[in-house]
Amino acid sequence: MSRGSRRPSLLFWLVLPFMAFVTLLPYAWTFATSFKRRSDILSTPPTWIKDPSWFNYESMLFTRGFDLYLLNSVIIGVSSTLLALTVGTLAGYAFSRYKVPAGNHLFFYILATRLGPPIAYALPMYFLFSELGLLNTHLGVSIAHAAFNLVLVVWMMKTFFDEIPVELEEAASIDGCTAAQAFWRISLPLALPGLVTVAMFVFIFSWNEMLFALMLSAGDSNTLPVMIPSLIQHTGTLRGEVAAAAIVQTIPVIVFTFVAQRHLLRGLTFGAVKG
């Protein structure tokens, strides 16, 4: 019987709803909270949304100035993704197709950048960026995120390029392509599912990242995750605004996952089966 046609077992029906409940309930509660009026949020007994309102979103985005942080998150997420993909894809291709001097060592050292705790890199990076005048800029945080994600891009893209038969590039070179044209017109389009997968991982990392964003940015260049804790104030926690910010923060992750699910699955299983 093929995998696709196999009927789910009893265990599946017992475990899956439980897992879904445990995972989704907090999110559903946050979602509900984000539309509740302040008086309903902590009411006893707890209630679902009685009278839905956009108040928390308006307050968070416009009164508290989170529209700017949201924009910062988008700018830094997109630019760090583009930067990491550009450098990492080319490096992954080089590792896959060319004899790189000390290639194996180099490949391992790239991985080693992710072995240490991020805080170990954050402080030196702070001093370095301070010298370079990159503190409190979009570019600084983008570079930090891209650098941290590069290892993922290089490793995954090398694997994707390894799966593309080298004969296709040879055929292209006989057809008249230069090495760059063969990469651009043949290998890169074929690695697109992988590229989309990697792009999503990189973007979501940057979108959610807090440590580097906190260390390297301040004021007008702050990102959304850095600013959410600022809604916990000494006079009390703005629970509705926190919930609204959390929902906004998760939207791109959910959208990306659903929209690009086919790409994601194909990308994650790329190379698992030949053919």
Partner 1 sequence: MARIDIENIRKTFGGVVALHDVSLAIPDGAFVILVGPSGCGKTTLLRLLAGLEAASAGTIAIDGRDVTALPARERDVAMVFQNYALYPHMSVRRNMSFALELKKIPRAEIERRVDATADILGIGALLDRRPRQLSGGQRQRVALGRAIVREPAVFLFDEPLSNLDAKLRTSMRSELIKLHKRLNATIVYVTHDQVEAMTMGEIVVVMKDGVLLQSGAPLDIYRDPVNLFVAEFIGSPAMNFLKGNFDAGRGEAVVAEGRGRLRLDPALAGSLAEGRRVELIFGVRPEHLLAAPPPSGASAIDGLVEVVEPLGAETVVEMSLGTQSLTARLKGDLLPATGSVLTLHVEPKSVFVFDPADGARLRAV
Q: Give the residues lining the site for partner 1 (CB under 8 A).
A: 165, 167-168, 170-178, 181, 186, 189-190
Q: How many residues does the chain have?
A: 275
Shortest separation between residue 161's beta carbon and partner 1, angstroms = 14
| Best CA proximity match to 195, nearest among 92, 272, 100 | 92
Shortest separation between residue 108's beta carbon and partner 1, angstroms = 24
Shortest separation between residue 182's beta carbon and partner 1, angstroms = 9
Shortest separation between residue 188's beta carbon and partner 1, angstroms = 10
Pick the closer one to partner 1 by CB: 40 or 169: 169
Contact of 260 with 198, CB cutoff 8 Å:
no
Rounded to whole angstroms, the Cα distance separating 271 from 268 reads 9
Pick the closer one to partner 1 by CB: 112 or 174: 174
H helical segments located in 55-177: 55-58, 66-97, 103-112, 118-132, 138-163, 166-175
Shortest separation between residue 175's beta carbon and partner 1, angstroms = 4
| Best CA proximity match to 207, nearest among 228, 193, 191, 192 | 228
Pick the closer one to partner 1 by CB: 239 or 263: 263
| Best CA proximity match to 118, nearest among 91, 151, 77, 81 | 151
Pick the closer one to partner 1 by CB: 36 or 263: 263
Pick the closer one to partner 1 by CB: 67 or 170: 170
The pair of three-digit structure tokens given for residue 123, joined into one six-digit string: 């402080």
Instruction: Count other C-beta atoms under 10 Å from residue 140's C-beta.
Output: 25
C-alpha dist (Å) from residue 73 to 64, 142, 226, 234, 257: 16, 10, 10, 26, 18
Shortest separation between residue 176's beta carbon and partner 1, angstroms = 4
Pick the closer one to partner 1 by CB: 219 or 275: 275
